[in-house]
Amino acid sequence: MKAALSFLTPRSTVALILCGVALLIAPFVVDRYTLSIILLALLGTYLGQAWNILMGYCGLLSLGHALYLGLGAYVSAVLFVNYGVGPWLSVFIAMAVAVGAAFLLGWLGFRFRIEGVYFSLLTIAFAEIARIGFDNWSFVGGAAGFFLPVNAALQDQWWNLRGGPLFFYYLALAMAAASLLIAAVLRSSKLGYAFLAIREDPQAARALGVNINRTRFLALFISAAMTAVGGVYTAFWTNNLFPAQILETSKSIEIILAPIIGGLGTLMGPFVGAFLLVPLGSALTDGLRAIGLSAPGIKALVYGVILMLIIAATPNGIWPWLARKLGLEAREP
Amino acid sequence: MNKTGWIDRRSLLAAAGATIAAPAVVRAQAKSLKIALMLPRSGFFAQAGQSCYRGALASPKVLSDLGYNVEIVHIDTESSNDVSRTQAEKAINDGAQCVIGAFESGNTIAIAQVCEQRKVPLICNIASAPQLTSQGYQYLVRNFMSGPGLVTNGLKLIGEVSKAANMEFKTAVFLHSNDTFGTAQAQAMEKIFPTLNMPFKIVESIAYDPKAQDLSVEVTKVRGINPDLLLIVTRAGDAIKLTRDMVRQKFQPKAIMSPGSPGLYDQEFFDAVHEYADGFIYNLPWFNVKSQMTQALEASFKATNPKNRFDLDGFNVGFTFEALLIAADAFKRAGTGEGEPLMKAIKATNIKDHVMIGGPIMFNEKGDNPNIGSAAVQNIGQKPTVVYPADVAVAKPILPFPAWQGRK
């Protein structure tokens, strides 16, 4: 653990603590609307971090992470509604199912040396197969969706992930913090160095004795399992699941935007990206409405232009630039 | 009484007067109901969301003429659950006393959870997931049919229309898109059809990709089976491709009917296939052309949306208007926009004269309106025309399906 936190400089330690305290007291300071935006940003941080471990650290570009999100969501929701299995138990089953799917994908990809963009295409194919499968699988509601009960009698059963916005807010905060810790521990571990070595040069890593396939599998498993936990959260937070929403390619893109904009392969990238993109979307909605520009699609247009400007201004992501400006750059391990 | 005493007679009288007058003052203050109208005006459901929005633009005039006063705040859900949820929070923060929306079930549920926590009534204008009203929400009512209800009514009407037109169907082919909507409809058909004892058999069920370049293979397949009846579930884009391929292959069954789907009454369908749009029948909840309120709404629609056709938007416009009407009517009866009494008034709704076909608008214990009716609507002269049931019909059904050749 000590090694995991060795990257922190005194200044970045203070910044991290201030950030944590601000997020802890946020529910008592901000209104419910702002809180709901912060919640989405925290969830985006968590999912972005899960994807970042695979792509940012290990160099495997997945464009189908909605697969693990959807599997996690559906497994926990079906187990809860149809078999009465609580989410604290089903989360492990969801993780196992996601890891199983990741194993199948990895076996096909790594066994047959499907690399680069072709690996990315494979991840899209898996997610699409799952979406079409769930669309036509009546046991899970098919295209008409799967619903979790939300009646008042269940509202205070926190052990069944039934609760109000405050409960889900702190859960999202805990998940985001945990994902940051997991990523930090991984980065400073032998496995983390193996990830980075493979990302930089697989052949050189192999020459140094790194088992490429085994390491890539581990990155895939960790990322899939973490994303599945995000799926469990999503299922119990939204209470409804539609394959066209949770398993769509657009969901995969949504997951990867935060770490890419924030800074790929950095610890704080997903956090910074999510806390920029989610509020930006809401601010645009509110701002455009306030100035009377309510033409449909205008928000997407402005949002796209802003994203392009951000990418053009900070091609390595916002966090490396921001850290440099604020003097928060990590210590070299 | 001494002036320095803690109360005098004049103060006592003033206080008593104020106490008696207080409720009236409060009521006088609550002159209009602030409604957040949440629609998917961009994103995947934008076309329908825009159609509903046009209805909302036409509604205030009609409501005002009826003596109702509402303030509508238009909110775009972007067809997203996350945006629906956060924008519902914002709308309520900004003082919305009632929320209406949101065309799509997932978006509606996201809003319903916020409304339930904030104790603000949510009136669902359009959303068909049956689970919406079976989850125990106390602050939700739906003035729309559930998916199974739509399919059941749609299928029953096929039997009734064929009987009314003295047309017998023995075989049918069910052709549907394999997108989310088409698949959901197909799954509902699979469950409901065997329970209805229909006079015809579905000999083949064919799913197609609505994004395909053309549907010639599917039409050839149906042509080979040569059914009496072709049942279709489409959206506008694939309805156009299907029509063109049927015309090209000169395939013409006794009837082409939809048990409940959009596409066949969309502007782009009429614009693309013109006279070949005629003859299709679709069974849906529809606006009652004979109702005076519908006529008033149509007049207002023409004034506010001069470039759009009321008969093509009527389905979305009608249900959106009715949701606003329910809110305004309840507000008038409750005399307040506070959540609990307003919701109580909404649940006690009993509106006999309204826009859509069916009995009085009222809600059962679950929050559904059980009186919504469906009609068989046929494209005649490139205009959606109600042909059944007789009490609301303005023309008789034209069956068998008119020949493709020689149309003008």
Q: Which residues does chain B have within 8 Å of residue A149's beta carbon, measured at their own beta carbons?
A: 135-136
pLDDT of B8: 54
A226/A69 Cα distance (integer angstroms): 9
Residue B23 predicted with pLDDT over 70: no
Q: What percent of chain B has pLDDT over 90?
A: 72
CB atoms within 10 A of CB A43: 25
Q: Which residues does chain B have within 8 Å of residue A290's beta carbon, measured at their own beta carbons?
A: none
Q: Which residues does chain A have within 8 Å of residue B86's beta carbon, measured at their own beta carbons?
A: 33, 36-37, 40, 282
Of A29 and B3, more confident? A29
B257/B160 Cα distance (integer angstroms): 13
Going by their DSSP bridges, the two strands B255-258 and B281-284 should be labelled as: parallel
Contact predicate B77/B39, CB 8 Å: yes
pLDDT of A153: 66
A124/A63 Cα distance (integer angstroms): 6
- Name the token pair of A34: 């702002």
A305 in any annotated domain: no
Contact predicate B408/B275, CB 8 Å: yes
Average pLDDT over residues B170-187: 87
- Name the token pair of B295: 């006529």
Average pLDDT over residues A169-175: 97
> Which residue, among B4, B133, B59, has the nearest Cα to B323 in the 3D structure?
B59
CB contact burial A148-183 (16+ within 10 A = b; e otherwise):
bebeeeeeeeeebbbbebeebbbbbbebbbebbebb
Given an 8 Å threshold on Cβ–Cβ distance, is A297 in contact with B93?
A: no
* Each residue's pLDDT tens digit, B336-358: 999 999 999 999 999 999 999 99
Q: What 3-state DSSP class applies to A116?
A: coil
Q: Which residues lie closer than 8 Å to A286 by C-beta, 6 or more apart?
A: B90
**Fold match between domain B29-145+289-347 and domain B148-284+375-388:** yes
Residue B3 predicted with pLDDT over 50: no
Q: Given B46, B131, B184, which is nearest A147 (Cβ)?
A: B131
Q: For residue A155, what are the domain limits?
A: 10-247
Residue A156 predicted with pLDDT over 80: no
Residue B29 predicted with pLDDT over 70: no
* Each residue's pLDDT tens digit, A243-265: 988 999 999 999 999 999 999 99
Q: Given B74, B76, B117, which is nearest A164 (Cβ)?
A: B117
- Whether B127 and chain A come into contact, CB under 8 Å, resolves to no
Residue B6 predicted with pLDDT over 70: no
- Whether B52 and chain A come into contact, CB under 8 Å, resolves to no
Contact predicate A296/B80, CB 8 Å: no
B110/B124 Cα distance (integer angstroms): 12
Residue B88 predicted with pLDDT over 90: yes
Q: Given A143, A152, A294, which is nearest B74 (Cβ)?
A: A294
Secondary structure in 3-state letters for chain B = CCCCCCCCHHHHHHHHHHHHHHHHHHHHHCCCEEEEEEECCCCCCHHHHHHHHHHHHHHHHHHHHCCCCEEEEEEECCCCHHHHHHHHHHHHHCCCCEEEECCCHHHHHHHHHHHHHHCCCEEECCCCCHHHHCCCCCCEEECCCCHHHHHHHHHHHHHHHHHHCCCCCCEEEEEEECCHHHHHHHHHHHHHHHHCCCCCEEEEEEEECCCCCCCHHHHHHHHHHCCCEEEEECCHHHHHHHHHHHHHCCCCCCEEEECCCCCCCCHHHHHHHHHHHCCCEEEECCECCCCHHHHHHHHHHHHHCCCCCHHHHHHHHHHHHHHHHHHHHHHHHHCCCCHHHHHHHHHCCCECCCCECECCECCCCCCECCCECCEEEEECCCCEEEEECCCCCCCCCCCCCCCCCCCC
* Mean of the per-residue pLDDT values of chain B: 89
Q: Given B82, B135, B184, which is nearest A143 (Cβ)?
A: B184
Contact predicate B383/B310, CB 8 Å: no
Mutation choice for A interface testing from B38, B87, B111, B183 by most A CBs within 10 A: B183
pLDDT of A331: 61
Q: Which residues does chain A have within 8 Å of residue B182's beta carbon, measured at their own beta carbons?
A: 143
Q: What 3-state DSSP class applies to A122?
A: helix
A327 in any annotated domain: no
Q: How far is A60 from chain B (nearest CA, A)?
A: 28
Residue A325, exposed/middle/buried by CB under 10 A (0-12, 13-18, 19+)? Answer: exposed
Q: Given A138, A151, A238, which is nearest B187 (Cβ)?
A: A138
Cα B108-B110-B112 angle, rounded to 5 deg: 65
- Name the token pair of B257: 């009917």
Interface of B with A in 177-236 (CB under 8 A): 178-184, 187-188
Going by their DSSP bridges, the two strands B255-258 and B201-208 should be labelled as: unpaired
Query: Rounded to the nearest 5°, which phi and psi values hold at B3?
Result: -60, -25
pLDDT of B282: 95
CB atoms within 10 A of CB B213: 7
Q: Which residues lie closer than 8 Å to B392 by C-beta, 6 or more apart?
A: B286, B288, B289, B290, B357, B373, B375, B386
Contact predicate A208/A91, CB 8 Å: no
Q: How would residue B1 be classed by pLDDT, with cut points 50, 70 and 90?
A: very low
B279/B83 Cα distance (integer angstroms): 40
B337/B97 Cα distance (integer angstroms): 6
- Name the token pair of A46: 């968590």
pLDDT of B30: 60
Q: How would residue B204 be classed by pLDDT, with cut points 50, 70 and 90?
A: very high
> Which residue, among A276, A234, A230, has the nearest Cα to A257 in the 3D structure?
A276
Q: Give the residue extent of every domain in chain B.
A: 29-145+289-347, 148-284+375-388
CATH architecture type of domain B29-145+289-347: 3-Layer(aba) Sandwich (3.40)
Q: Name the pTM for this structure.
A: 0.86
* Each residue's pLDDT tens digit, A293-325: 777 778 888 889 999 999 999 998 999 999 888
Q: Please give the sequence-ordered ranges of beta strands (E in DSSP) within A223-272, or none if there are none.
A: 240-241
Q: Can you say how many angstroms the Cα of residue B274 is from the centroid of all Cα atoms in its chain?
A: 25
**CA dihedral (A64, A69, A70, A71) positive or negative:** positive
A286 in any annotated domain: no
Query: Rounded to the nearest 5°, which phi and psi values hold at B116?
Result: -65, -45
Domain B148-284+375-388, CATH homologous superfamily name and number: Response regulator (3.40.50.2300)
B66/A195 Cα distance (integer angstroms): 69
* Number of domains making up chain A: 1
A223/A182 Cα distance (integer angstroms): 11
Given an 8 Å threshold on Cβ–Cβ distance, is B135 in contact with A142?
A: no
pLDDT of A169: 96
Mutation choice for B interface testing from A245, A277, A280 by most B CBs within 10 A: A245
Q: How would residue A56 be classed by pLDDT, with cut points 50, 70 and 90?
A: very high
Q: Which residues lie closer than 8 Å to A115 by C-beta, 6 or more apart?
A: A109
Given an 8 Å threshold on Cβ–Cβ distance, is B147 in contact with A144?
A: yes
A215/B147 Cα distance (integer angstroms): 48
- Name the token pair of A261: 């904009």
Which run of H or of E encompasses A149?
A: none
**CA dihedral (B343, B347, B352, B353) positive or negative:** positive
> Which residue, among B252, B229, B251, B261, has the nearest Cα to B159 in the 3D structure?
B229
- Name the token pair of B369: 């309106």
Residue of B nearest to A296 (CA): B42
Contact predicate B231/B207, CB 8 Å: no
Residue A220, exposed/middle/buried by CB under 10 A (0-12, 13-18, 19+)? Answer: buried
